[in-house]
Amino acid sequence: MPGNMIFDLIGFSQTKVTPSSHNQKNTENGNDEKICSDSAPFDISPDYDRPVSTNYQENLDYCTALKGKNADVLIRPFTLADGRRSFLLLVDGMCSKQSAEQNLILPAMQLKLSAGPDNIPPMQQISEIILNTELSEQPSLSKGFVAALTGDLFLCIEGLNVGFVIGARSIESRSVSPSETAGSVVGPHEGFTENLRTNTALIRRRISDPNLTIEMTQVGLRSHTAVALCYIRGLTNPKLVDTVRKNIQAINVDLMNDSGELAQLIEQYPLSPLPQIDGTEKPDTAAAEICQGRAAIIVNGSPYVLLAPATISSMMQVSEDRYQRWTYSSFLKILRWIAFFISITAPSLYVAVVAYNPGLLPVDLLLLSAANRINVPFSAVTEVIIMEFFIELLREASIRLPGSISSAMSIVGGLIVGDAAIRAGLVSPLLIIIIGLTSLTSFVIPSYELASSLRLVKYFLLALSAIFGIFGLTVGLVLFVSQLCALYSYGTEFTAPFSPAYKKGFLESLIELPIFRRDTRPEYYEPVDLIRMK
Protein backbone atom coordinates (compact mmCIF):
# COMPACT_ATOMS: atom_id res chain seq x y z
CA MET A 1 0.00 0.00 0.00
CA PRO A 2 1.43 3.44 -0.87
CA GLY A 3 2.95 5.37 1.99
CA ASN A 4 0.53 8.33 1.80
CA MET A 5 -2.49 6.01 2.02
CA ILE A 6 -1.02 4.35 5.10
CA PHE A 7 -0.58 7.71 6.81
CA ASP A 8 -4.15 8.69 6.01
CA LEU A 9 -5.45 5.41 7.42
CA ILE A 10 -3.55 5.64 10.69
CA GLY A 11 -4.72 9.20 11.25
CA PHE A 12 -1.90 11.52 10.13
CA SER A 13 -4.41 13.91 8.62
CA GLN A 14 -4.15 17.66 8.29
CA THR A 15 -7.75 18.36 9.25
CA LYS A 16 -8.34 20.64 12.17
CA VAL A 17 -9.45 19.02 15.44
CA THR A 18 -12.44 20.84 16.94
CA PRO A 19 -11.93 21.95 20.55
CA SER A 20 -14.30 20.39 23.06
CA SER A 21 -17.16 22.10 24.79
CA HIS A 22 -15.09 21.94 28.00
CA ASN A 23 -12.60 24.41 26.51
CA GLN A 24 -15.40 26.61 25.21
CA LYS A 25 -16.93 26.77 28.70
CA ASN A 26 -13.59 27.82 30.15
CA THR A 27 -13.43 30.65 27.65
CA GLU A 28 -16.98 31.75 28.33
CA ASN A 29 -16.41 31.75 32.07
CA GLY A 30 -13.35 33.97 31.70
CA ASN A 31 -10.84 31.29 32.69
CA ASP A 32 -7.38 32.85 32.44
CA GLU A 33 -5.83 30.00 30.47
CA LYS A 34 -3.52 31.04 27.65
CA ILE A 35 -5.10 29.31 24.65
CA CYS A 36 -3.72 30.35 21.26
CA SER A 37 -6.10 31.77 18.67
CA ASP A 38 -5.97 34.20 15.77
CA SER A 39 -6.53 37.12 18.17
CA ALA A 40 -4.41 35.76 21.04
CA PRO A 41 -1.07 34.42 19.75
CA PHE A 42 1.21 32.06 21.61
CA ASP A 43 3.17 33.70 24.41
CA ILE A 44 6.84 33.46 23.39
CA SER A 45 8.25 34.96 26.58
CA PRO A 46 10.91 32.67 28.14
CA ASP A 47 9.18 32.55 31.53
CA TYR A 48 5.84 31.35 30.12
CA ASP A 49 5.12 27.72 30.96
CA ARG A 50 1.90 25.73 30.43
CA PRO A 51 2.27 22.45 32.39
CA VAL A 52 1.03 19.14 31.06
CA SER A 53 -2.34 18.29 32.56
CA THR A 54 -3.57 14.84 33.55
CA ASN A 55 -6.75 15.74 31.64
CA TYR A 56 -6.29 14.44 28.10
CA GLN A 57 -8.85 16.75 26.52
CA GLU A 58 -7.28 19.89 27.99
CA ASN A 59 -3.89 18.97 26.52
CA LEU A 60 -5.44 18.14 23.16
CA ASP A 61 -7.43 21.40 23.06
CA TYR A 62 -4.35 23.45 23.89
CA CYS A 63 -2.20 21.83 21.19
CA THR A 64 -5.07 22.04 18.69
CA ALA A 65 -5.41 25.75 19.36
CA LEU A 66 -1.66 26.21 18.90
CA LYS A 67 -1.80 24.23 15.66
CA GLY A 68 -4.43 26.60 14.29
CA LYS A 69 -4.29 26.78 10.51
CA ASN A 70 -0.82 25.24 10.18
CA ALA A 71 -1.15 22.51 7.58
CA ASP A 72 2.29 21.04 8.34
CA VAL A 73 1.60 20.49 12.06
CA LEU A 74 0.05 17.06 12.52
CA ILE A 75 -1.79 15.68 15.57
CA ARG A 76 -2.32 11.91 15.68
CA PRO A 77 -4.70 10.66 18.42
CA PHE A 78 -4.52 6.96 19.35
CA THR A 79 -5.30 4.68 22.30
CA LEU A 80 -2.99 2.53 24.39
CA ALA A 81 -3.72 -1.09 25.17
CA ASP A 82 -4.98 -0.14 28.64
CA GLY A 83 -7.53 2.30 27.22
CA ARG A 84 -5.59 5.51 27.88
CA ARG A 85 -6.13 8.15 25.22
CA SER A 86 -2.95 9.64 23.75
CA PHE A 87 -1.84 11.85 20.92
CA LEU A 88 1.38 12.42 19.02
CA LEU A 89 2.46 15.83 17.78
CA LEU A 90 4.87 16.28 14.88
CA VAL A 91 5.73 18.57 11.95
CA ASP A 92 5.55 17.10 8.48
CA GLY A 93 8.86 17.44 6.64
CA MET A 94 10.98 17.78 9.78
CA CYS A 95 10.63 14.16 10.92
CA SER A 96 9.68 10.87 9.29
CA LYS A 97 5.99 9.98 9.54
CA GLN A 98 6.79 6.42 8.57
CA SER A 99 9.35 6.12 11.35
CA ALA A 100 6.88 7.59 13.84
CA GLU A 101 4.29 5.00 12.83
CA GLN A 102 6.59 1.98 12.93
CA ASN A 103 8.80 2.87 15.90
CA LEU A 104 6.37 4.69 18.17
CA ILE A 105 2.64 4.47 17.48
CA LEU A 106 2.35 0.75 16.68
CA PRO A 107 4.47 -0.32 19.70
CA ALA A 108 2.71 2.21 21.94
CA MET A 109 -0.68 0.70 21.07
CA GLN A 110 0.48 -2.49 22.80
CA LEU A 111 1.51 -0.62 25.98
CA LYS A 112 -0.27 -0.95 29.31
CA LEU A 113 0.80 1.74 31.77
CA SER A 114 -0.50 -0.01 34.85
CA ALA A 115 1.50 0.44 38.01
CA GLY A 116 1.52 -3.26 38.91
CA PRO A 117 3.41 -4.82 41.81
CA ASP A 118 6.80 -3.67 40.50
CA ASN A 119 5.69 -0.02 40.25
CA ILE A 120 7.75 0.59 37.08
CA PRO A 121 7.85 4.30 36.15
CA PRO A 122 6.07 5.25 32.89
CA MET A 123 9.33 6.63 31.47
CA GLN A 124 10.99 3.24 31.78
CA GLN A 125 8.00 1.38 30.32
CA ILE A 126 7.88 3.69 27.32
CA SER A 127 11.63 3.46 26.75
CA GLU A 128 11.35 -0.34 26.62
CA ILE A 129 8.84 -0.37 23.76
CA ILE A 130 9.85 2.71 21.73
CA LEU A 131 12.73 2.03 19.35
CA ASN A 132 14.48 5.35 19.85
CA THR A 133 17.59 6.32 21.81
CA GLU A 134 16.50 9.94 22.38
CA LEU A 135 13.70 9.99 24.94
CA SER A 136 13.14 12.54 27.68
CA GLU A 137 10.33 13.71 29.94
CA GLN A 138 8.87 17.18 29.40
CA PRO A 139 6.54 18.56 32.11
CA SER A 140 5.78 21.69 30.07
CA LEU A 141 3.13 21.41 27.38
CA SER A 142 4.22 24.65 25.72
CA LYS A 143 7.87 23.60 25.56
CA GLY A 144 6.84 20.21 24.26
CA PHE A 145 5.00 21.90 21.40
CA VAL A 146 8.11 23.97 20.63
CA ALA A 147 10.20 20.78 20.68
CA ALA A 148 7.90 19.35 18.01
CA LEU A 149 8.37 22.48 15.93
CA THR A 150 12.14 21.88 15.97
CA GLY A 151 11.73 18.39 14.49
CA ASP A 152 11.14 16.08 17.49
CA LEU A 153 8.04 14.10 18.38
CA PHE A 154 5.91 15.05 21.40
CA LEU A 155 3.80 12.39 23.06
CA CYS A 156 1.01 13.09 25.57
CA ILE A 157 -0.73 10.28 27.49
CA GLU A 158 -3.93 10.57 29.50
CA GLY A 159 -3.43 10.51 33.26
CA LEU A 160 0.23 11.58 33.19
CA ASN A 161 1.34 15.08 34.15
CA VAL A 162 4.40 14.86 31.89
CA GLY A 163 4.85 14.52 28.16
CA PHE A 164 7.63 12.76 26.30
CA VAL A 165 9.98 14.23 23.68
CA ILE A 166 11.33 11.66 21.23
CA GLY A 167 14.17 12.58 18.90
CA ALA A 168 13.17 11.81 15.31
CA ARG A 169 14.59 14.65 13.21
CA SER A 170 15.08 13.84 9.55
CA ILE A 171 15.52 17.26 7.98
CA GLU A 172 17.20 17.20 4.59
CA SER A 173 20.59 18.92 4.66
CA ARG A 174 23.72 19.28 2.57
CA SER A 175 26.11 16.36 2.80
CA VAL A 176 29.69 16.76 4.02
CA SER A 177 31.72 18.31 1.21
CA PRO A 178 34.90 20.37 0.82
CA SER A 179 34.71 23.92 2.14
CA GLU A 180 34.30 26.47 -0.64
CA THR A 181 35.75 29.38 1.34
CA ALA A 182 38.68 27.65 3.08
CA GLY A 183 40.45 25.73 0.37
CA SER A 184 43.54 23.68 1.15
CA VAL A 185 46.05 21.56 -0.74
CA VAL A 186 47.39 19.54 2.19
CA GLY A 187 45.25 18.05 4.95
CA PRO A 188 41.54 17.15 5.25
CA HIS A 189 39.19 18.73 2.72
CA GLU A 190 35.82 18.15 4.38
CA GLY A 191 33.93 21.14 5.71
CA PHE A 192 31.09 21.77 8.12
CA THR A 193 27.47 21.63 6.95
CA GLU A 194 24.28 23.39 8.01
CA ASN A 195 23.28 20.46 10.24
CA LEU A 196 24.35 20.89 13.86
CA ARG A 197 24.48 17.17 14.69
CA THR A 198 26.65 16.50 11.66
CA ASN A 199 29.03 19.24 12.77
CA THR A 200 29.30 17.97 16.33
CA ALA A 201 29.96 14.48 14.98
CA LEU A 202 32.78 15.81 12.78
CA ILE A 203 34.44 17.30 15.86
CA ARG A 204 33.74 14.27 18.04
CA ARG A 205 35.30 12.01 15.42
CA ARG A 206 38.59 13.90 15.80
CA ILE A 207 38.47 14.31 19.59
CA SER A 208 37.44 11.06 21.26
CA ASP A 209 38.19 12.47 24.69
CA PRO A 210 35.42 11.80 27.27
CA ASN A 211 36.18 15.29 28.60
CA LEU A 212 34.99 16.87 25.34
CA THR A 213 31.76 18.58 26.37
CA ILE A 214 29.04 19.69 23.97
CA GLU A 215 26.47 21.83 25.80
CA MET A 216 23.19 22.52 24.04
CA THR A 217 21.07 25.64 24.37
CA GLN A 218 18.55 27.55 22.28
CA VAL A 219 18.66 31.12 21.00
CA GLY A 220 15.76 33.04 19.48
CA LEU A 221 12.32 33.59 20.98
CA ARG A 222 10.68 32.57 17.71
CA SER A 223 13.30 30.49 15.91
CA HIS A 224 14.50 28.46 18.94
CA THR A 225 17.76 27.89 17.09
CA ALA A 226 19.92 25.17 18.62
CA VAL A 227 23.40 26.33 19.65
CA ALA A 228 26.20 24.04 20.83
CA LEU A 229 29.10 25.15 23.03
CA CYS A 230 32.11 22.82 22.69
CA TYR A 231 35.08 22.70 25.06
CA ILE A 232 37.26 20.20 26.94
CA ARG A 233 36.82 19.89 30.69
CA GLY A 234 40.10 20.11 32.54
CA LEU A 235 41.76 21.96 29.64
CA THR A 236 39.65 24.97 28.66
CA ASN A 237 39.63 27.84 31.15
CA PRO A 238 36.37 27.56 33.19
CA LYS A 239 36.06 31.37 33.28
CA LEU A 240 36.09 31.43 29.48
CA VAL A 241 33.38 28.77 29.30
CA ASP A 242 31.20 30.53 31.89
CA THR A 243 31.50 33.88 30.15
CA VAL A 244 30.67 32.47 26.72
CA ARG A 245 27.74 30.51 28.15
CA LYS A 246 26.31 33.55 29.94
CA ASN A 247 26.67 35.75 26.86
CA ILE A 248 24.83 33.23 24.71
CA GLN A 249 22.05 32.77 27.25
CA ALA A 250 21.67 36.55 27.57
CA ILE A 251 20.81 36.96 23.87
CA ASN A 252 17.22 38.12 23.49
CA VAL A 253 16.29 38.17 19.79
CA ASP A 254 13.40 36.64 17.90
CA LEU A 255 15.39 34.97 15.11
CA MET A 256 18.91 33.55 14.89
CA ASN A 257 19.74 32.54 11.32
CA ASP A 258 23.52 32.31 11.24
CA SER A 259 26.58 32.26 13.46
CA GLY A 260 27.55 35.69 12.09
CA GLU A 261 24.62 37.23 13.93
CA LEU A 262 25.54 35.45 17.15
CA ALA A 263 29.18 36.58 16.87
CA GLN A 264 28.11 40.22 16.74
CA LEU A 265 25.87 39.78 19.78
CA ILE A 266 28.54 38.24 22.02
CA GLU A 267 31.46 40.52 21.08
CA GLN A 268 32.83 42.72 23.83
CA TYR A 269 33.26 45.76 21.54
CA PRO A 270 30.43 45.64 18.98
CA LEU A 271 31.16 49.15 17.65
CA SER A 272 34.73 48.28 16.70
CA PRO A 273 35.35 47.74 12.97
CA LEU A 274 37.56 44.75 13.80
CA PRO A 275 36.12 41.29 14.60
CA GLN A 276 36.74 39.80 18.04
CA ILE A 277 35.37 36.32 17.32
CA ASP A 278 37.27 33.93 15.07
CA GLY A 279 35.74 31.14 13.02
CA THR A 280 36.30 28.32 10.57
CA GLU A 281 34.46 26.03 8.17
CA LYS A 282 36.95 23.15 8.61
CA PRO A 283 36.43 20.48 11.30
CA ASP A 284 40.17 19.79 11.62
CA THR A 285 40.84 23.45 12.43
CA ALA A 286 38.02 23.58 14.99
CA ALA A 287 39.27 20.39 16.67
CA ALA A 288 42.83 21.69 16.80
CA GLU A 289 41.75 25.01 18.32
CA ILE A 290 39.57 23.29 20.93
CA CYS A 291 42.62 21.26 21.97
CA GLN A 292 44.53 24.54 22.26
CA GLY A 293 42.16 25.71 24.98
CA ARG A 294 39.58 27.64 22.98
CA ALA A 295 35.80 27.24 22.96
CA ALA A 296 33.83 26.49 19.79
CA ILE A 297 30.26 27.67 19.15
CA ILE A 298 28.12 25.84 16.60
CA VAL A 299 24.84 27.34 15.39
CA ASN A 300 22.29 25.08 13.74
CA GLY A 301 21.83 26.12 10.13
CA SER A 302 25.30 27.63 9.75
CA PRO A 303 28.44 25.91 8.40
CA TYR A 304 30.66 28.51 10.06
CA VAL A 305 31.82 27.52 13.57
CA LEU A 306 32.86 30.33 15.92
CA LEU A 307 36.02 30.21 18.04
CA ALA A 308 36.69 32.23 21.19
CA PRO A 309 38.83 33.89 22.28
CA ALA A 310 40.27 35.37 19.08
CA THR A 311 43.61 37.04 18.42
CA ILE A 312 45.02 38.63 15.32
CA SER A 313 47.66 35.90 15.14
CA SER A 314 45.02 33.13 15.19
CA MET A 315 43.17 34.86 12.32
CA MET A 316 46.38 34.87 10.28
CA GLN A 317 46.93 31.13 10.63
CA VAL A 318 45.64 28.33 8.39
CA SER A 319 45.34 24.61 9.05
CA GLU A 320 47.95 23.77 6.41
CA ASP A 321 50.64 25.35 8.60
CA ARG A 322 50.40 22.33 10.90
CA TYR A 323 50.57 19.72 8.15
CA GLN A 324 53.52 20.94 6.06
CA ARG A 325 57.23 21.11 6.74
CA TRP A 326 57.99 23.85 9.24
CA THR A 327 60.41 25.60 6.86
CA TYR A 328 57.82 26.09 4.12
CA SER A 329 55.06 26.92 6.60
CA SER A 330 57.29 29.58 8.14
CA PHE A 331 57.84 31.12 4.72
CA LEU A 332 54.08 31.27 4.10
CA LYS A 333 53.44 32.82 7.52
CA ILE A 334 55.95 35.59 6.87
CA LEU A 335 54.42 36.09 3.41
CA ARG A 336 50.95 36.52 4.95
CA TRP A 337 52.18 39.14 7.42
CA ILE A 338 53.81 41.07 4.57
CA ALA A 339 50.55 40.85 2.63
CA PHE A 340 48.70 42.10 5.72
CA PHE A 341 50.83 45.26 5.79
CA ILE A 342 50.70 45.87 2.03
CA SER A 343 46.90 45.45 1.83
CA ILE A 344 46.25 48.42 4.15
CA THR A 345 49.14 50.75 3.25
CA ALA A 346 49.89 50.42 -0.48
CA PRO A 347 47.25 52.89 -1.88
CA SER A 348 47.85 55.36 0.96
CA LEU A 349 51.61 55.22 0.46
CA TYR A 350 51.17 55.85 -3.28
CA VAL A 351 49.04 58.94 -2.65
CA ALA A 352 51.32 60.27 0.09
CA VAL A 353 54.49 59.90 -1.98
CA VAL A 354 53.17 61.01 -5.37
CA ALA A 355 51.03 63.93 -4.21
CA TYR A 356 52.84 65.22 -1.10
CA ASN A 357 56.31 63.77 -0.65
CA PRO A 358 57.76 62.94 -4.08
CA GLY A 359 61.25 63.63 -2.75
CA LEU A 360 61.16 60.27 -0.96
CA LEU A 361 61.37 58.46 -4.31
CA PRO A 362 64.66 57.73 -6.10
CA VAL A 363 65.28 60.01 -9.07
CA ASP A 364 64.73 57.30 -11.69
CA LEU A 365 61.47 56.16 -10.11
CA LEU A 366 60.35 59.79 -9.69
CA LEU A 367 60.92 60.51 -13.39
CA LEU A 368 59.10 57.32 -14.36
CA SER A 369 56.14 58.21 -12.18
CA ALA A 370 55.97 61.74 -13.60
CA ALA A 371 56.12 60.38 -17.16
CA ASN A 372 53.27 57.94 -16.48
CA ARG A 373 51.06 60.64 -15.01
CA ILE A 374 51.77 63.38 -17.53
CA ASN A 375 48.51 62.81 -19.44
CA VAL A 376 46.34 61.72 -16.48
CA PRO A 377 43.61 64.37 -15.91
CA PHE A 378 42.95 63.44 -12.27
CA SER A 379 44.85 63.98 -9.07
CA ALA A 380 46.49 60.99 -7.38
CA VAL A 381 43.76 60.84 -4.74
CA THR A 382 40.93 60.91 -7.27
CA GLU A 383 42.74 58.37 -9.38
CA VAL A 384 43.02 55.93 -6.45
CA ILE A 385 39.40 56.44 -5.38
CA ILE A 386 38.14 55.70 -8.90
CA MET A 387 40.16 52.50 -9.18
CA GLU A 388 39.29 51.32 -5.66
CA PHE A 389 35.61 51.96 -6.36
CA PHE A 390 35.90 49.95 -9.56
CA ILE A 391 37.62 47.06 -7.73
CA GLU A 392 34.95 47.02 -5.02
CA LEU A 393 32.21 46.86 -7.65
CA LEU A 394 34.05 44.07 -9.44
CA ARG A 395 34.53 42.14 -6.20
CA GLU A 396 30.87 42.44 -5.21
CA ALA A 397 29.63 41.51 -8.69
CA SER A 398 31.88 38.43 -8.74
CA ILE A 399 30.38 37.25 -5.43
CA ARG A 400 26.73 37.81 -6.38
CA LEU A 401 26.85 36.36 -9.90
CA PRO A 402 26.77 32.61 -10.65
CA GLY A 403 30.16 30.87 -10.78
CA SER A 404 30.41 30.57 -14.57
CA ILE A 405 29.50 34.22 -15.13
CA SER A 406 31.61 35.39 -12.18
CA SER A 407 34.88 34.14 -13.68
CA ALA A 408 34.09 35.84 -16.99
CA MET A 409 33.23 39.06 -15.16
CA SER A 410 36.59 39.01 -13.36
CA ILE A 411 38.50 38.57 -16.61
CA VAL A 412 36.55 41.30 -18.41
CA GLY A 413 36.77 43.74 -15.52
CA GLY A 414 40.38 43.09 -14.57
CA LEU A 415 42.01 42.92 -17.98
CA ILE A 416 39.91 44.62 -20.62
CA VAL A 417 38.58 47.55 -18.59
CA GLY A 418 41.93 48.09 -16.84
CA ASP A 419 43.83 48.08 -20.12
CA ALA A 420 41.28 50.42 -21.67
CA ALA A 421 41.63 52.86 -18.75
CA ILE A 422 45.42 52.97 -19.27
CA ARG A 423 45.11 53.47 -23.03
CA ALA A 424 42.56 56.25 -22.51
CA GLY A 425 44.95 58.01 -20.13
CA LEU A 426 42.51 58.00 -17.21
CA VAL A 427 44.89 56.25 -14.80
CA SER A 428 48.61 55.61 -14.72
CA PRO A 429 50.10 52.12 -15.25
CA LEU A 430 51.86 52.35 -11.88
CA LEU A 431 48.53 52.75 -10.09
CA ILE A 432 47.15 49.66 -11.82
CA ILE A 433 50.07 47.70 -10.36
CA ILE A 434 49.46 49.18 -6.89
CA ILE A 435 45.72 48.41 -6.94
CA GLY A 436 46.29 44.92 -8.30
CA LEU A 437 48.90 44.22 -5.63
CA THR A 438 46.54 45.49 -2.93
CA SER A 439 43.73 43.23 -4.12
CA LEU A 440 46.00 40.19 -4.29
CA THR A 441 47.39 40.72 -0.80
CA SER A 442 43.89 41.12 0.66
CA PHE A 443 43.00 37.67 -0.70
CA VAL A 444 46.02 36.16 1.07
CA ILE A 445 44.59 36.98 4.52
CA PRO A 446 42.93 33.74 5.74
CA SER A 447 40.11 35.27 7.82
CA TYR A 448 37.37 36.76 5.66
CA GLU A 449 36.09 38.90 8.56
CA LEU A 450 39.54 40.33 9.20
CA ALA A 451 40.17 40.96 5.50
CA SER A 452 36.82 42.79 5.19
CA SER A 453 37.64 44.98 8.20
CA LEU A 454 41.07 45.81 6.81
CA ARG A 455 39.42 47.11 3.65
CA LEU A 456 37.75 49.79 5.79
CA VAL A 457 41.04 50.54 7.55
CA LYS A 458 42.63 51.00 4.13
CA TYR A 459 40.17 53.79 3.27
CA PHE A 460 40.76 55.43 6.64
CA LEU A 461 44.51 55.54 6.00
CA LEU A 462 43.87 56.75 2.46
CA ALA A 463 41.85 59.72 3.73
CA LEU A 464 44.59 60.76 6.18
CA SER A 465 47.28 60.37 3.51
CA ALA A 466 45.28 62.49 1.09
CA ILE A 467 45.17 65.32 3.64
CA PHE A 468 48.52 65.14 5.44
CA GLY A 469 50.75 62.95 3.27
CA ILE A 470 53.30 60.68 4.99
CA PHE A 471 52.54 62.33 8.32
CA GLY A 472 48.86 61.41 7.99
CA LEU A 473 49.74 57.83 7.07
CA THR A 474 51.98 57.57 10.14
CA VAL A 475 49.28 58.96 12.43
CA GLY A 476 46.73 56.59 10.91
CA LEU A 477 48.96 53.57 11.52
CA VAL A 478 49.50 54.65 15.13
CA LEU A 479 45.74 54.97 15.65
CA PHE A 480 45.17 51.58 14.02
CA VAL A 481 47.73 49.85 16.24
CA SER A 482 46.25 51.60 19.28
CA GLN A 483 42.81 50.26 18.37
CA LEU A 484 44.26 46.76 18.05
CA CYS A 485 45.90 46.99 21.45
CA ALA A 486 42.69 48.24 23.08
CA LEU A 487 40.63 45.22 22.00
CA TYR A 488 40.01 42.18 24.19
CA SER A 489 38.33 38.91 23.32
CA TYR A 490 37.03 37.12 26.42
CA GLY A 491 39.90 38.23 28.62
CA THR A 492 42.59 37.73 25.98
CA GLU A 493 44.36 40.68 24.38
CA PHE A 494 43.56 40.83 20.67
CA THR A 495 47.21 41.58 19.89
CA ALA A 496 48.56 38.63 21.90
CA PRO A 497 51.24 37.29 21.73
CA PHE A 498 52.78 40.52 20.39
CA SER A 499 51.40 42.83 23.05
CA PRO A 500 51.78 41.78 25.77
CA ALA A 501 54.74 39.81 24.52
CA TYR A 502 54.89 36.06 25.06
CA LYS A 503 58.34 34.79 24.14
CA LYS A 504 57.38 31.47 22.59
CA GLY A 505 54.02 32.64 21.30
CA PHE A 506 55.63 35.65 19.63
CA LEU A 507 58.00 33.42 17.72
CA GLU A 508 55.32 30.87 16.87
CA SER A 509 53.04 33.55 15.42
CA LEU A 510 55.71 34.72 12.96
CA ILE A 511 57.11 31.32 11.98
CA GLU A 512 56.02 27.70 12.34
CA LEU A 513 58.12 25.82 14.86
CA PRO A 514 59.19 22.22 14.18
CA ILE A 515 56.50 19.81 15.31
CA PHE A 516 58.58 18.43 18.19
CA ARG A 517 58.90 21.99 19.57
CA ARG A 518 55.15 22.59 19.72
CA ASP A 519 55.01 21.14 23.21
CA THR A 520 52.91 23.78 24.98
CA ARG A 521 49.59 25.48 24.37
CA PRO A 522 49.34 29.28 23.98
CA GLU A 523 49.66 30.92 27.39
CA TYR A 524 47.37 33.81 26.48
CA TYR A 525 44.39 31.40 26.24
CA GLU A 526 45.07 30.54 29.90
CA PRO A 527 44.37 26.81 29.55
CA VAL A 528 44.19 24.66 32.67
CA ASP A 529 46.65 22.19 31.15
CA LEU A 530 49.51 24.05 29.46
CA ILE A 531 51.53 21.00 28.39
CA ARG A 532 50.63 19.71 24.95
CA MET A 533 53.43 17.22 24.32
CA LYS A 534 55.81 15.43 26.65
Residue type, 265: L
State the average pLDDT for the chain: 85
Least confident of 304-318, 370-384, 466-480: 370-384
Q: What pTM, to 2 d.p., does this model score?
A: 0.84
Higher pLDDT: 292 or 415? It is 292
Weakest mean pLDDT among 88-92, 302-306, 339-343:
88-92
Share of the chain above pLDDT 90, in %: 50
Instruction: Determine the pLDDT at residue 1.
Output: 41
**pLDDT mean over 180-207:** 87
| Cβ-proximal residues to 277 (8 Å cutoff; 6+ apart), any chain | 263, 266, 267, 306, 307, 308, 310, 489
More confident residue, 128 or 465: 465
Band (460; pLDDT cuts 50, 70, 90): very high
367: phi then psi, degrees, rounded to nearest 5: -65, -40
Q: What is the C-alpha end-to-end distance of the chain, expressed in Å?
A: 64
Q: Residue 437's closest CA among 388, 367, 380?
A: 388
pLDDT, one tens digit per residue, over 334-384 is 999 999 999 999 999 999 998 888 888 888 887 887 887 888 888 889 989
pLDDT, position 331: 95
Q: Which candidate, 471, 142, 504, 187, places its Cα nearest to that of 324?
A: 187
pLDDT over threshold 70, residue 138: yes
pLDDT of residue 175 exceeding 70:
yes
Q: What is the mean predicted confidence (pLDDT) over 488-507?
A: 90
Q: Is 339 left (phi over 0), alpha (psi -120 to 50) or beta?
A: alpha
